Structure 1
């Protein structure tokens, strides 16, 4: 079975971009709640931290998360395809 690594990576990057947009909206709407949840997820006290949700940080985060998720998934699928050919 041949998996198209570019298509899978592109779909993943699109999904991650959508999650980033929803998360950014949630931070704007309920910053204290999201700060508490984020701190709990990392076992940190973030109550003294401030969110920086400007257009510049939104765009940079969107591009960075999308790009790195694309590259990561492409590498995983490509290595998986290679391993199938090598061990068959």
Structure 2
């Protein structure tokens, strides 16, 4: 059985982990991550630069975690009802 609240917390924690890992890779390998981003979005962005700071990192961490938690809770609730 899936518990919506537990699944929501797991989703939020996973999103937080992925955000931290991605941010670390951007800090360590900015050029490679920028190129990979362009490939993933199918656009040419080589002339742009990262705008990464602690405020953006924290806001992104919190907002993506909250959104993932809500989405995970909704997903689990729908799954149970089906």
Relative to the length of structure 2, the TM-score reads 0.94
Once the two structures are TM-superposed, the CA of residue 53 in structure 1 deviates from its matched residue by 1.1
- 1:3 corresponds to which residue? 2
CA distance in 2, matches of 1:78, 1:44: 36
- 1:60 corresponds to which residue? 59
Matched, 1:24 2:23: yes
Larger Rg: 1
Partner of 1:47, secondary structure, is: coil
**Residues 33-72 of structure 1 aligned to structure 2 (within 5 Å):** 33-72=32-71
RMSD: 0.9
CA distance in 2, matches of 1:36, 1:16: 22
Once the two structures are TM-superposed, the CA of residue 48 in structure 1 deviates from its matched residue by 1.3
- Deviation string 1:3-26 (CA, Å, 9 cap, x unpaired) is 210101101110110111011011
Relative to the length of structure 1, the TM-score reads 0.88
Structure 1 residue runs without a partner (length 5+): 84-88
Structure 2 residue runs without a partner (length 5+): none
